Structure 1
Amino acid sequence: MNTIYYIVQQTMFFAIPLLIVALAGMFSERSGIINIALEGIMVIGAFFGIGFIALMQMNDSPMNPQLMLLVAIIIAGIAGGIFSLLHAFASINLKADQTISGTALNMFAPAAVIFTARILQSVQQVQFADKFHITEVPVLSGIPIIGSMFFKNAYITTYVGLIIYVISYILITHTRFGLRLRACGEHPQAADSVGINVYFIRYMGVLISGILAGIGGIVFVVPTSTNFNATVAGYGFLALAVLIFGQWRCQKIFFSAFFFGVMKTFAAAYSGIPILKDLPISANVFKMIPYIITLLVLVFMSKNSQAPKAEGIPYDKSVR
């Protein structure tokens, strides 16, 4: 039973950031803007969030660690949102190729982060102390089975991610804004004909995408490391696979994120799982599992894609 608890707890560390970032991609792409810049936005968000934590710890701030992490998450979201506006401007106003725009941001983000970190502290790694681990959540950790799985050896980022999912589901499926967002991704001309500002809705889709991707960056780094080195280990691209596997739908994205999270757990924490540890398989094979699964998913899901029909197509109000 302890092994099951361990797998579930580790899965949360990997699945939650995947869930958040895949939802980030969903908001942008359901509005009609392809966003492959998720990786770069995650890097920017993580840099600013971890930078805040490092600065506060360096100055021996008396702030409660959980409150500090929540503030860092907010900062990461703001940074990611601002950075994503570059992609929105290029894609919406300049009508640039959205794939090229996203690629440019992915290339720019780590370079800018490394340059800034070296200017500020002479080295590119941003160190921080992990004071955010929650050994037990009072009361809830005492619930049989569930308590040990979800309320012991946890991080507050897990609960933040689940709250984001619930809000995203309600926003995209049960609100007027969500309906308009989906309309702009499916048939922007029809949306415009009934008075919807397609440009504004698409800007909002990309902005929300940037905020969530920025949050996803710090949510990924904090439970898995004690330093940030201008990388999120390809999680932005893995989140795109989750988005495609989830067919741009909230509920499917949720299950896809946890499926990929389990695969990532086997790859990163197999040594803590007795059955896998004793297998005569190289560690490199385990590390390849998530990416092999990604390739297989893309191959088999591409034929049944339910991507928004107007995704990636610049909208010109003057053309009907």
Structure 2
Amino acid sequence: MTALAPAASGMALGTVKQRYLKLPIVLGIVTLLLAALFLFAPRDGISTFRLGDATSAIVLPEVELPTASTSWLLLVLLVLLTAWSAWDAWSYRRPALWLPIVYGVLAVFAFLVWAAADGLVPVTGLLFGAISLSVPLVFGALGGVIGERVGVVNVAIEGQLLLGAFSSALLSSITGNPFIGLLGAMLGGVLVAFVLAAFAIKYLVDQVIVGVVLNVLVTGLTGFLYGALLVPNEEQLNRPVRFTRLEIPLLSDIPIIGPVLFNQTFLVYLMYITVGVVAWALYRTRWGLRLRAVGEHPQAADTVGIKVNMSRFWNVSLAGAIAGMGGAYFTLVSVPQFTKEMTAGLGFIALAAVIFGRWDPLRAALAALLFGFATNLQNLLTALRTPIPSEFMLMLPYVVTIIAVAGFAGQIRGPAASGKPYIKG
């Protein structure tokens, strides 16, 4: 015992501390970029923020801020927060969760103040648009979370969204009922997921390759059917009845967030419910425990009687149904008809939200909201006529996606058995 004591003591003394340098590096780069923007492209005037809209029960006054001085004041606060994160890293302390959140809010606010010189930022409209644009991303991300948690990489989210959009447009046009269209979108997502599961689970084909091939297949198939079926019969087959807004009394009168969260369509309310149900069921139910066990250690799950491949098959199908609901947003809410390739790669951004959200439903939904906000911000900056080139505006959502995944993916680990086929015995 006495001989082991020095060794144990030495092991304790030799523990290697870790400095969390990634956050201060990322914050430092963003701070330098904002400083360069304010220095080399200065803007002066008054930045106006409208906190309400004409339909609000409680009218809030517009907030007017001097552009230059407010921008530099906010930049000073960002420098202090960056220094705080650097001091935490130097002291071997894990960065607090509130720090990047507060920094992100202040950084976006500083950028909006600079962009809105002698212009108007409709805060409610900006947030409302961000929520709306995030709907297909949230549904797609939830489908990706369920798929990867059970051990199957769902690269085919793009195809599930696209076939869901096509199916919902077709059935809603035929029946005149958007709820039937929504069921059709779920069926379209399940069909794509069914093929993915069959090849990946039964025939052990590489899951990423199957997902990419399915995306190409669905793109070509829907493009062909659009030209051969929908275009000649546009009035009968491509005029879907869409969901209308449903205003929730009292809640919709809350200043700023009321019109944003509680004056939406049925699909948005369904998104709220789906996120909550999936997040609760994944960690609080027998189904969620079995799903996570299959994705982390399928051999152990098999020894206690869980049918691993069957569980993967049905959960991937469920993930496809959820992603298909996101596809319904395009034709039952956003656009009054189906067009070729209308999902425009959002399935891959949803997949990035899964990684950025650490394979957690709530975090993935928040990551999807971030990407939706970036997309809507692009539209606002174009309207404000900022000196940033229009080409960069189009790149903005994808730049945010790359930064998010590159900045945080290295710190996290996905489900251990994700992407790995399971062969019994």
Same-fold call, TM > 0.5? Answer: yes
Q: What is the DSSP-based 3-state SS (H/G/I as helix, E as strand, rest coil) of the residue aligned with 1:228?
A: coil
Compared CA separation, residues 219 and 190, structure 1 to 2 (3 A): same
Q: Is the 8 A contact 1:242 1:257 kept in 2?
A: yes
Letter in 2 for 1:314: P
Q: Whole-Å Cα distance in 2 between the matches of residues 42 and 213 of structure 1?
A: 6
User: Aligned pair 1:72/2:181, yes or no?
Assistant: yes
Q: Whole-Å Cα distance in 2 between the matches of residues 287 and 123 of structure 1?
A: 32
**Aligned match for 2:288, one of 163, 178, 183:** 178
Q: What is the DSSP-based 3-state SS (H/G/I as helix, E as strand, rest coil) of the residue aligned with 1:12?
A: helix
| TM-score after normalising by structure 2 | 0.67
User: Aligned pair 1:92/2:92, yes or no?
Assistant: no
Shift of 1:222: 3.5
Cross-structure match for 1:106: 215
Task: Give the number of the structure with larger relative contact order, counting CA–CA contacts within 8 Å between residues 6 or more apart.
Answer: 1
Task: Provide, for residues 133-192 of structure 1, a one-character-per-residue CA deviation record: whole Å limited to 9, x for no partner.
Answer: 32744454334443322233x322111111110111122111111111111111100100
Shift of 1:256: 1.0
How do 1:31-50 and structure 2 match up within 5 A? 31-50=150-169
Task: Provide, for residues 244-264 of structure 1, a one-character-per-residue CA deviation record: whole Å limited to 9, x for no partner.
Answer: 000101221122121111111
Between 237-246 and 217-226, the greater mean CA deviation after superposition: 217-226
Q: Is the 8 A contact 2:161 2:326 kept in 1?
A: yes
Q: What is the DSSP-based 3-state SS (H/G/I as helix, E as strand, rest coil) of the residue aligned with 1:227?
A: coil
**Aligned match for 1:284, one of 391, 401, 420:** 391
Shift of 1:124: 10
Structure 2: any 5+ residue segments left out of the alignment?
1-50, 53-121
Q: Is the 8 A contact 1:14 1:220 kept in 2?
A: no
Shift of 1:269: 4.3
Cross-structure match for 1:316: 423
Shift of 1:284: 2.3
Q: What is the DSSP-based 3-state SS (H/G/I as helix, E as strand, rest coil) of the residue aligned with 1:90?
A: helix
How do 1:20-31 and structure 2 match up within 5 A? 20-31=139-150
Task: Provide, for residues 280-317 of structure 1, a one-character-per-residue CA deviation record: whole Å limited to 9, x for no partner.
Answer: 12332222111011112222223223211111111000
Q: Whole-Å Cα distance in 2 between the matches of residues 313 and 174 of structure 1?
A: 26
Shift of 1:199: 0.7
**Aligned match for 2:367, one of 256, 274, 282:** 256
How do 1:270-281 and structure 2 match up within 5 A? 270-271=381-382, 277-281=384-388
Cross-structure match for 2:328: 218
Shift of 1:89: 0.5
Task: Provide, for residues 83-131 of structure 1, a one-character-per-residue CA deviation record: whole Å limited to 9, x for no partner.
Answer: 2111001001001111111111001001111222333244598743675
Q: Is the 8 A contact 1:80 1:211 kept in 2?
A: yes
Shift of 1:234: 0.7
Q: Is the 8 A contact 2:160 2:324 kept in 1?
A: yes
Q: Whole-Å Cα distance in 1 between the matches of residues 309 and 246 of structure 2?
A: 46
Letter in 2 for 1:197: K
Cross-structure match for 2:276: 166
Task: Provide, for residues 205-254 of structure 1, a one-character-per-residue CA deviation record: whole Å limited to 9, x for no partner.
Answer: 21111101111111244433222223201110000110000010122112
Larger radius of gyration: 2
Q: Whole-Å Cα distance in 2 between the matches of residues 72 and 130 of structure 1?
A: 9
Shift of 1:82: 2.3
Q: Whole-Å Cα distance in 1 between the matches of residues 361 and 279 of structure 2?
A: 6
Q: What is the DSSP-based 3-state SS (H/G/I as helix, E as strand, rest coil) of the residue aligned with 1:196?
A: coil
How do 1:184-263 and structure 2 match up within 5 A? 184-231=294-341, 232-263=343-374
Q: Whole-Å Cα distance in 1 between the matches of residues 180 and 344 of structure 2?
A: 24
Between 139-148 and 300-309, the greater mean CA deviation after superposition: 139-148
Compared CA separation, residues 147 and 298, structure 1 to 2 (3 A): closer
How many percent of aligned residue pairs carry the same amino acid? Answer: 31
Cross-structure match for 2:5: none
Q: Is the 8 A contact 2:130 2:376 kept in 1?
A: yes
Between 168-177 and 24-33, the greater mean CA deviation after superposition: 168-177
**Aligned match for 1:134, one of 221, 233, 245:** 245
Structure 1: any 5+ residue segments left out of the alignment?
62-67
Shift of 1:72: 1.5
Q: Is the 8 A contact 2:173 2:241 kept in 1?
A: no
Between 178-187 and 221-230, the greater mean CA deviation after superposition: 221-230
Q: Is the 8 A contact 1:13 1:220 kept in 2?
A: no
Between 182-191 and 213-222, the greater mean CA deviation after superposition: 213-222
Compared CA separation, residues 225 and 284, structure 1 to 2 (3 A): farther
Q: Whole-Å Cα distance in 1 between the matches of residues 221 and 297 of structure 2?
A: 37
Q: What is the DSSP-based 3-state SS (H/G/I as helix, E as strand, rest coil) of the residue aligned with 2:216?
A: helix
User: Aligned pair 1:15/2:124, yes or no?
Assistant: no
Between 73-82 and 278-287, the greater mean CA deviation after superposition: 278-287
Shift of 1:266: 0.8
Q: Whole-Å Cα distance in 1 between the matches of residues 356 and 274 of structure 2?
A: 20
Q: What is the DSSP-based 3-state SS (H/G/I as helix, E as strand, rest coil) of the residue aligned with 2:419?
A: coil
| TM-score after normalising by structure 1 | 0.88
